Structure formats: structure tokens, C-alpha cells
């Protein structure tokens, strides 16, 4: 992104104080009876001398800066993750012989919280200095990392010159995929329980052949491979794994229901929609590692922002899916569940696990129930609804008086009414879930493992 250079010249506070002092001295002299005929030429001469010195200082400083001023080399990551603190680096290079006093400030997009800017320093001649600061993105999408501002002083300290150097860049802010890396590490170390995910690995289960292995006590005798046992002269059994080459399809609600946001600034929390997108990405990663296809379709948002990602396999699918969905934001429109179900049924003929991510309300039942029935004609459907955390916090408050008792009782009443309405709309389906946003990712992965283990697809 090319931009033109900008330069602003401002007097320093010291030079302003000198002019103010000169004016005050002349005013005091005149008030004490000094003749105007003497003070006027004297003041004009002093002012002219100051202006001449300032002009010479500015001309000389600009000339020296042009010949050997400070240069900036900026290092930016390819992408950012929402809520993740990222370290940025600026290398300041002074190729000349003179030292410069300056302040550095990077023009960072307002969607970032910035720590460590501006920075003041004195850069000696023919040296290099590195400025390190951190930024934290609060919103997904495309952000602009602007140019770098250098505020340097003239040689005599009369002026401050602000130069804007470098080029602006458009950068992508993705969902916080740190959860994916943590899941991969935990799964490799068999510590999935730390994030609430159960380990369902069971030998001899599933229908896809995995490998031959030596018989262990407790293994089903029906899996005994007679030919292999005779060949190796010891009991050999066939091990199976969960079925692969299946399809997981996400139906993501981007309507006004998903605009619920309980996050507080500087707490590190994310919005409900961000939690839903994080859960989508985590389960997509898990399904792809299991050899399944993953696809996604949005509904309820602006027509121009609708996304349709056809199911595909391979770990490269995760990057493609993230690039497709990273800048999504919920809109203010009503979500038409039935229209979304009809569109998906027309496009997706193969039986799949369809995961509907939404924020359920009881008044949505007349549209949501027929949509679920339509999808269930061919697919296995999991309705995942996000429940506000404020309701749970209110229900858990200690009761210290009548008002607290009323508030807690009301919270329990609303919670029970929501549970009853959810059970009715899903027709008491045990697969569907209604959880708080932070529990969504682990619960979805556990449900996926249960579906695989039970062979429901």
C-alpha cells in the first residue's frame, strides 16, 4: 500500500519559551518607562536574529537528515490472532556520524491494544537500535498497520520535525488458533482432559481396519486373524479404528441472535460469535486429523457476506477454511433457519454430521423445528446453542437478602424454562447441546468422538 511522505515542522517548547520570555521582557521594559523608539528596534533586531537562527538550524538539520538520517526497518508477522499478544519489532538504523534524539510511534489500527509506544531514545551515529512493543487484536478481520512516525529534534533544538516513513500494510486477524496448537500438543501427550476433552481411543472398535497387533488379554476373540497367527506362531488380532472419509458440515448462524456479547475490555474475553468460530475451527481440525471431510455454510447475515465452503479433506483445508471465515461478523438480520436448511439439503446430498451453531430462543421454535426435521431426513444433526454466562453467574450468587433471593430464583426459573424449550425444539435429542460459549469447543469435540465411536453416521 503506497503512501506519500508526510513531514510536519513544529517549534519545541524551549523555543516557544524563549519567544515568550523575549516578549515579556520587552513588555516589562515598556511598562517601566523604556522609550518605545528604543525598544521597538531592539525587539525587532532580537526577533530577527532568533528567526534567522531558527531558519539556519532548520535548513542545516533537514540537510543533515536527508544525507544521513535514521532509517526504519519494520518486521511484521503474516497474521494476527484475536486476543493474542503479539510482539512487533522496529529496527532503527543511523548510517550517519551524528547522533539524533527522537521519538518513535507506529500507526497501529484502532482494533489493536498497543503497549510500549511511543518510545523516546537517543541514537548514536553509525549504530542500530531495536524497539520492541506488543499489540493485542480485539476484533477479527482485516486491519491496517500504518506507517512509522519519527519525531526528531533539530541540531539546535529549536524545532521538532515529524516524519512519516515506510509503507502501510493490510493484515489479517484470525480466530485465536492457539487453541488448535494446544489441542495438538495435548492430544500428542494424552492430556486432553486438561481442556475438558475425553479420550475415546479404544482398541478393536470401529469398522475400518487399522493394523495387526499381538493379542492382549481382553481383546475380542472375533478379531483373531488365523492366517497371521499361524505365520507369526503367536496370537495376532486385527485392530480397527473409527470410520474415516465421513463428512462434517457446519451451519453457522450470523444473524442478530449471535450478536450477544458479554466481554469486558482488557479481560482477554471474546464475544459469543468468536467463541463459536473458535469451536468451529477446533472441531474442523479434529475432524480433518481423523480423515474426515469438513465444510461450512453461513446464514442469517448480510447477503454479500454469506460464505459457502464445500467439504474437502486434508490439513490444508483448515487454512483455506480459516481464510474464508476469519473476517465474519454477525449482522442485524433475522436468521431464516428453514431457508438455510433447504439450501444445505439441496447442496449436500451425502449423509453428513451437520452442526448448527446458533443462539436459541424459545420464539425461534416455529422455524427451527421444521428446519431440523428437514435436515434429519438425510443427515445426522447436532444443534449447538450458546447460553449466556450471566444467567449462570446470577443463579450461583449467594443469597444475603430478599432482593438476592428474588434474583437467584428468577435466574433458576429462566434457566429451567430455557432447558425445557430447548428440549422441545430438538425433540429431546441427546446429541444436541446448550452450553456456555467457553464450554462449546470441548463439548463439540466430545460429541464428535461419541458419534464416531457409536458409528451413527
For residue 432, what pLDDT is reported? 92
Backbone phi and psi for residue 113, each to the nearest 5 degrees, phi listed first: -90, 130
For residue 183, what pLDDT is reported? 53
Q: How far is CA 403 from CA 391, 395, 411, 416, in A?
A: 16, 13, 12, 20
For residue 352, what pLDDT is reported? 92
- pTM exceeding the 0.85 threshold for the entire prediction: no
Say if 71-174 and 178-200+243-454 have the same CATH topology: no
CATH level 2 (architecture), domain 178-200+243-454: 3-Layer(aba) Sandwich (3.40)
For residue 244, what pLDDT is reported? 63
How is residue 113 written as a grid cell?
A: 491494544
Answer for the pair 212, 228: CB distance below 8 angstroms, yes or no: yes
Nearest to 335 by CA among 306, 310, 378, 309: 306
For residue 253, what pLDDT is reported? 92
Phi-psi region of 168 (alpha: psi -120 to 50; beta: other; left: phi over 0): beta
Answer for the pair 352, 381: CB distance below 8 angstroms, yes or no: no
d(CA 148, CA 160): 16
For residue 201, what pLDDT is reported? 45
How is residue 241 written as a grid cell?
A: 479404528
Torsion (CA) 373, 376, 381, 385 in degrees, nearest 10: 0
Answer for the pair 270, 176: CB distance below 8 angstroms, yes or no: yes
Q: How far is CA 325 from CA 82, 142, 356, in A?
A: 14, 12, 16
Strands (E), 353-446: 353-358, 380-386, 433-435
d(CA 248, CA 287): 7
For residue 365, what pLDDT is reported? 82
d(CA 347, CA 367): 20
Answer for the pair 332, 256: CB distance below 8 angstroms, yes or no: yes
Is the C-alpha dihedral spanning 363, 389, 266, 181 positive or negative? negative
For residue 239, what pLDDT is reported? 67
Domain assignments of the chain as residue spans, ordered by start: 13-68, 71-174, 178-200+243-454, 210-241
pLDDT in tens, the chain (457 residues): 444 557 888 888 888 888 888 888 888 888 887 787 777 888 888 888 888 988 898 898 888 888 877 888 888 887 788 777 888 888 888 888 888 888 888 888 888 888 888 888 888 888 888 888 888 888 888 888 888 888 888 888 888 888 888 788 888 888 776 555 555 544 544 444 554 555 544 444 555 556 677 777 766 767 777 777 778 778 877 766 555 678 999 999 998 888 877 765 444 456 788 888 888 988 998 899 888 999 999 998 777 678 899 999 988 898 899 888 888 888 888 888 999 999 999 999 889 999 999 988 878 888 899 999 999 999 999 999 998 877 777 777 788 878 778 887 887 888 788 888 888 888 888 889 998 888 888 888 888 988 888 778 7
Answer for the pair 198, 192: CB distance below 8 angstroms, yes or no: yes
For residue 5, what pLDDT is reported? 58
CATH of region 71-174, choose from 3.40.50.880, 2.40.40.20, 3.40.50.300, 2.60.40.10? 2.60.40.10
Amino acid at each position: 500500500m503506497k503512501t506519500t511522505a508526510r513531514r510536519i515542522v513544529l517549534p519545541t517548547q524551549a523555543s516557544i519559551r524563549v519567544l515568550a520570555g523575549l516578549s515579556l521582557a520587552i513588555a516589562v521594559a515598556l511598562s517601566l518607562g523604556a522609550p518605545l523608539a528604543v525598544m521597538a528596534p531592539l525587539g525587532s533586531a532580537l526577533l530577527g536574529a532568533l528567526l534567522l537562527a531558527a531558519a539556519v538550524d532548520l535548513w542545516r538539520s533537514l540537510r543533515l537528515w536527508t544525507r544521513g538520517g535514521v532509517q526504519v526497518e519494520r518486521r511484521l508477522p503474516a497474521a494476527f490472532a484475536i486476543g493474542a499478544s503479539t510482539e512487533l519489532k522496529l529496527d532503527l538504523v543511523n548510517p550517519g556520524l551524528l547522533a539524533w534524539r527522537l521519538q518513535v510511534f507506529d500507526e497501529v489500527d484502532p482494533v489493536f491494544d498497543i503497549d510500549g509506544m511511543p518510545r523516546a531514545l537517543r541514537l548514536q551515529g553509525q549504530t542500530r537500535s531495536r524497539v520492541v512493543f506488543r499489540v493485542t487484536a480485539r476484533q477479527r478481520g482485516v486491519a491496517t498497520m500504518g506507517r512509522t512516525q519519527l519525531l526528531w529534534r533539530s541540531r539546535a533544538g529549536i524545532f521538532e520535525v515529524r516524519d512519516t516513513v515506510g509503507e502501510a500494510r493490510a493484515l489479517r486477524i484470525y480466530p485465536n488458533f492457539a487453541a488448535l496448537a494446544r489441542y495438538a500438543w495435548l492430544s500428542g501427550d494424552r492430556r486432553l482432559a486438561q481442556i475438558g476433552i475425553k479420550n475415546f481411543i479404544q482398541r478393536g472398535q470401529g469398522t475400518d481396519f487399522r493394523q495387526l497387533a499381538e493379542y492382549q488379554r481382553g481383546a475380542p476373540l472375533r478379531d483373531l486373524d488365523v492366517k497371521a497367527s499361524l505365520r507369526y506362531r503367536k496370537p495376532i488380532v486385527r485392530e480397527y479404528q473409527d470410520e474415516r472419509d465421513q463428512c462434517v458440515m457446519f451451519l453457522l448462524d450470523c444473524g442478530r441472535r449471535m450478536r450477544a456479547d458479554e466481554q469486558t475490555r482488557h479481560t482477554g474475553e471474546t464475544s459469543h460469535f468468536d467463541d463459536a468460530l473458535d469451536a468451529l475451527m477446533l472441531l474442523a481440525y479434529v475432524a480433518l486429523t481423523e480423515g474426515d471431510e469438513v465444510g461450512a455454510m453461513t446464514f442469517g447475515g448480510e447477503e454479500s457476506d454469506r460464505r459457502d465452503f464445500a467439504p474437502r479433506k486434508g490439513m490444508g483445508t483448515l487454512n483455506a477454511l480459516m481464510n474464508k471465515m476469519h473476517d465474519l461478523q454477525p449482522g442485524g438480520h433475522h436468521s431464516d433457519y428453514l431457508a438455510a436448511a433447504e439450501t444445505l439439503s439441496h447442496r449436500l446430498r451425502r449423509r453428513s454430521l451437520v452442526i448448527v451453531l446458533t443462539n436459541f430462543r424459545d420464539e425461534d421454535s416455529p422455524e427451527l423445528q421444521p428446519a431440523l426435521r428437514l435436515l434429519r431426513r438425510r443427515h445426522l444433526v447436532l444443534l449447538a446453542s450458546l447460553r449466556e454466562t450471566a444467567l449462570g453467574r446470577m443463579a450461583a450468587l449467594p443469597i444475603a437478602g430478599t432482593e438476592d433471593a428474588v434474583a437467584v430464583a428468577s435466574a433458576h426459573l429462566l434457566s429451567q424454562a430455557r432447558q425445557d424449550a430447548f428440549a422441545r425444539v430438538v425433540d429431546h435429542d441427546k446429541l444436541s447441546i446448550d452450553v456456555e460459549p467457553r464450554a462449546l469447543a470441548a463439548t463439540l469435540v466430545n460429541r464428535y468422538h461419541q458419534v464416531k465411536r457409536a458409528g451413527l453416521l
